[in-house]
């Protein structure tokens, strides 16, 4: 099965869905099945994106992309 890359907007939306499902009384596993990702993925997203809004999450991803790009560029020069 191919892995899907989620955008920051999708991740924030899934975390909001998780919060709603947990408030309804479902477990993390039940909520993750409903969303379509594993419980581990949801926990990792919550750790990374918890408390951020969409614009902040986009900025974080852009910054990470720039950092990784500059590292690979410096490795090519070495």
Residue 39 located in a structural domain:
yes
* Separation of alpha carbons 54 and 42, rounded Å: 16
Give the 3-state secondary structure of residue 26: coil
Residue 12 located in a structural domain:
yes
Q: What is the pLDDT of residue 55?
A: 76
Q: Which residue from 12, 52, 18, 54 is spatially nearest to 35, judged by alpha carbons?
A: 18
Maximum CA pair distance of the chain?
54
Residue 1 located in a structural domain:
no
Give the structural domain span for 23.
Answer: 8-77
Residue 29 located in a structural domain:
yes
Per-residue tens of pLDDT for the chain, all 78 residues: 567 888 888 888 899 899 899 999 999 999 999 999 999 999 998 888 777 677 777 787 787 777 776 655 555 555
Residue 69 located in a structural domain:
yes
For the purposes of burial, counting CB atoms within 10 Å of the CB of 75, is it exposed (0-12), middle (13-18) or buried (19 or more)?
exposed
Domain count, the chain: 1
Residue 37 located in a structural domain:
yes
**DSSP code of 36?**
T
């Amino acid at each position: 099965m191919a892995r899907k890359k989620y955008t920051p907007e999708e991740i924030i939306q899934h975390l909001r869905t998780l919060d709603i499902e947990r408030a309804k009384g479902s477990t993390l596993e039940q909520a993750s099945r409903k969303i379509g990702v594993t419980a581990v993925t949801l926990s990792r997203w919550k750790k990374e994106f918890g408390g951020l809004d969409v614009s902040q999450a986009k900025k974080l991803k852009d910054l990470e992309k720039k950092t990784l790009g500059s590292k690979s560029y410096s490795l090519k020069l070495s």
